Amino acid sequence: MSTLRYVYGIVPATAAAAVEPAEIAGIDGVHVRAIVDGALAAAYSEVDDAEYGEAALNERVRDLDWLAPRAAAHQSVNARLLELAGVVLPLSFGALYRDDAGVKDMLREDAPARRARLDALAGRAEWVVTVLREAASAPGAADELRALDDEIASSAPGKGYLLEKRRTTVANEAAVRADADAAERALGALIRVAERSYREPVAKGGGDVVVLRVSLLAPRAKAGVLDGAIAAVTRDLDPLGYRVRATGPWPAYRFGTL
């Protein structure tokens, strides 16, 4: 069987000796090993060329049942590397190389910048916080909406139709204002306890409105402070109809890329 090197992330070379004894299970359950070049090491496992070669992989990533457990394994390996090394530069899913020499060539690319990024991220991790509300809810403008509802109830059909359109406009505008206010309140509280932040773009539509999604970088030693800020945002926004979801600590996916 011909195999490829599937690389999960880059760690300092000093951490390479801890990778193999840790017996980390990678994609398809294959143990993770390390390839060292200079001051850097790549954590990888072997995968079957027939299944993970370029043409096959491009086809398989469209199959969510196939992709989901492998993406989870990719994330799990990088989380374990963070625990072992204290820092990791995660690679995107599907970083494949023909042999050890190809992996070493990759490690030499921008090696000084990667070493500097590892130094900057040492002891740090990433949290992702999302603020949502149900699309059916309409926060804000309660008094004006109640007045319109009363007027609609007592109006003739023609006028009622126009008032219904007016009500929809008022509700949408109020929701936009309320969402913006909720996002700013959450963001302001969170960035105060993070070293860096990145406001992620969000998709429109669906059963939930994503008001805010933000990635936060903070020292792992201050995880309690960040968790406390997330809890405070939750208490602040819950009475207004918003839900707060948080995940982490993760390797620095957003902040670890070059």
> Are residues 37 and 63 both part of a single domain?
yes
Average pLDDT for 55-62:
86
Average pLDDT for 94-102:
95
**Confidence band, pLDDT 50/70/90 cuts, at residue 43:** very high
CATH no. for residue 234?
Answer: 3.30.70.360
> Are residues 184 and 202 both part of a single domain?
yes
> Are residues 71 and 133 both part of a single domain?
no
Has residue 126 got a pLDDT over 90?
yes
Q: Does the residue 159 lie in any domain?
A: no
> Are residues 52 and 113 both part of a single domain?
yes
Has residue 257 got a pLDDT over 80?
no
> Are residues 16 and 112 both part of a single domain?
yes
Q: Does the residue 235 lie in any domain?
A: yes
Q: Does the residue 204 lie in any domain?
A: yes
Q: Does the residue 167 lie in any domain?
A: no
Average pLDDT for 34-47:
96
Q: Does the residue 258 lie in any domain?
A: no
> Are residues 185 and 92 both part of a single domain?
no
pLDDT higher at 125 or 139: 125
Write the pLDDT tens digit of every residue in 166-180: 666 666 677 788 889
> Are residues 131 and 104 both part of a single domain?
no
Average pLDDT for 155-159:
67
Average pLDDT for 129-134:
92
> Are residues 11 and 117 both part of a single domain?
yes
Q: Does the residue 22 lie in any domain?
A: yes
Question: What proportion of the chain, given as a percentage, has pLDDT over 90?
Answer: 68
Per-residue model confidence (pLDDT) at position 3 = 92
pLDDT higher at 38 or 170: 38
Per-residue model confidence (pLDDT) at position 165 = 65
Per-residue model confidence (pLDDT) at position 55 = 84
What residue numbers bound the domain in which 48 lies?
3-121
> Are residues 97 and 136 both part of a single domain?
no
Mean pLDDT of the chain: 88
The token duo for 213 is 């999604």
Per-residue model confidence (pLDDT) at position 140 = 59
Q: Are strands 96-97 and 3-12 parallel, antiparallel or unpaired?
A: antiparallel
| Total domain count, the chain | 2
Has residue 159 got a pLDDT over 80?
no
Per-residue model confidence (pLDDT) at position 168 = 64
CA neighbor of 130 nearest in space, from 51, 219, 243: 243
pTM attached to this predicted model: 0.79
Name the CA dihedral angle for 210, 80, 112, 123, rounded to a multiple of 10 degrees.
Answer: 80
Average pLDDT for 137-158:
61
Q: Does the residue 93 lie in any domain?
A: yes
Write the pLDDT tens digit of every residue in 3-30: 999 999 999 999 999 998 999 999 999 9
Q: Does the residue 183 lie in any domain?
A: yes
φ/ψ (deg, to 5) at 87: -165, 145
Q: What is the DSSP string of the chain?
A: --EEEEEEEEEEGGGHHHHGGGT-B-GGGPBPEEEEETTEEEEEEEEEHHHHSHHHHHHHTT-HHHHHHHHHHHHHHHHHHHHHHS--EEPPTT-EESSHHHHHHHHHTTHHHHHHHHHHHTTEEEEEEEEEEETT---S-HHHHHHHHHHHHTS-HHHHHHHHHHHHHHHHHHHHHHHHHHHHHHHHHHHTT-SEEEE------SSEEEEEEEEEEEEGGGHHHHHHHHHHHHHHHGGGT-EEEEEEEE--TTTS--
